[in-house]
Amino acid sequence: MNTMRLGIAALAAAVSLNVSGLAWAADKHVAVTQIVEHPALDAVRKGVKDVLAEAGLTEGNGLKWSFESAQGNAATAAQIAKKFAGDAPDVIVAIATPSAQTVVATTSTIPVVFSAVTDPVGAKLVADAMHPGANVTGVTDMTPIAAHMALVKRIVPNATRLGVISNPGEANSVSLVSLIEVEAPKLGMSVVVAAATKSGDVLAAARSLVGKVDAIYIPTDNTVVSAFEAVVKVGNEASIPVLAGDTDSVKRGAVAAAGFDYYDVGRQTGKMVMKILDGANPGDMPVEGVAKSDLFVNLSAAKAQGVTLSGDLIAEAKEVIQ
């Protein structure tokens, strides 16, 4: 074996075992791990940071802020988790299920606040959402499906068949579709599901629903939402009302959505982080669902898709798009 080469490798490893930048003992250290960069997840992160700033904690002024994105790679997420466990921050914020799972597997002592996780119990992050009991708590972005189905029925009262497009490879989306299949029938709507494994398949999936459904609902599915315009095109052409689970989609052509802003999810997460920094125990903090909900409507989309929105509805809306 070549000793010299191995020696150089060892030296390189030693150099990397550096001491990271100086931090005052009084600084609060918040470490954020995110599975992939994406507008919604980035908005969560911003929400957290803004809440901390409003409380007087900014970088260089009482706060040490670490952020790493795993670029969609599970092994990287694992190494990030280990780095953070070794850095021993005051709180680890884990955005999205895979990042949260590997953090929870790595540390049982450092407080962990997850965010943008649709099913924390199913993901085994907490055993009991009301009394987590360990070092983990957080905010779930589970869509209030029952409320959304009610909105669909309110806008399209005669709908008996509801179309849904979803990527079977996204955990959150799959959970939402199951919930829809429970809630929609309660309001007299049967459910037709069309699958799209990548954004290029969305148009075909939407077309497959024409003639089979009275309305289309798009849950917060990264794949389908990224190709939302394709669904709108079909909705406009075939006069099928399109509703969404996220409010950004309304300005892109959905009739209406009662959604939340991921920025607000981030703010809610930030508030939980502040409580923990002030000494609260995560195990005593119940998992929170999204508190704020806004109604958005789009009048031209309503016209294109053959829907009349009542005056009451428009008055309730937070934002009305012409």
Q: Give the interface with another protein as residue ranges (CB under 8 A).
A: 1-2, 4-6, 9, 12-13, 15-18, 20-21, 37, 67-83, 85-88, 97-98, 101-102, 104-106, 122-125, 127, 168-171, 174-175, 197
Nearest distance, CB of residue 229 and another protein, angstroms: 25
Nearest distance, CB of residue 59 and another protein, angstroms: 13
- Other residues' Cβ atoms within 10 Å of the Cβ of residue 107: 18
Nearest distance, CB of residue 241 and another protein, angstroms: 29
Phi, psi of 42 (to 5 degrees): -65, -35
Q: Which tokens is 239 given? A: 């006069």
Q: Closest by alpha carbon to 143, among 180, 171, 170?
A: 180
Measured from the CB atom, is 101 or 268 closer to another protein? 101
Q: How far is CA 126 from the centre of its chain?
A: 18
Measured from the CB atom, is 169 or 283 closer to another protein? 169
Measured from the CB atom, is 89 or 235 closer to another protein? 89
Which amino acid is present at 20?
A: S
Measured from the CB atom, is 115 or 305 closer to another protein? 115
Give the burial class of 15: count Cβ atoms within 10 A of its Cβ; 0-12 exposed, 13-18 middle, 19 or more buried: exposed
Measured from the CB atom, is 73 or 199 closer to another protein? 73
- Give the three-state DSSP class for 74: helix
CA atoms of 195 and 224, how far apart (whole Å)? 9
- Output the 3-class SS for 92-124: EEEECHHHHHHHHHHCCCCCEEEEEECCCCCCC
Nearest distance, CB of residue 81 and another protein, angstroms: 8
Measured from the CB atom, is 120 or 253 closer to another protein? 120
- Cα 137-138-140 angle, rounded to 5 deg: 130
Measured from the CB atom, is 20 or 308 closer to another protein? 20
- Tell me which residue has tokens 């002030």: 278
Nearest distance, CB of residue 119 and another protein, angstroms: 9
Q: How far is CA 192 from the centre of its chain?
A: 24
Nearest distance, CB of residue 93 and another protein, angstroms: 15
CA atoms of 154 and 244, how far apart (whole Å)? 14
Nearest distance, CB of residue 15 and another protein, angstroms: 8
81 in Cβ contact with 105 (< 8 Å)? yes
Measured from the CB atom, is 97 or 305 closer to another protein? 97
Nearest distance, CB of residue 26 and another protein, angstroms: 19
Query: What stretches of 96-227 show up as alpha helix (H) in DSSP?
Result: 97-106, 145-155, 171-186, 202-207, 222-226
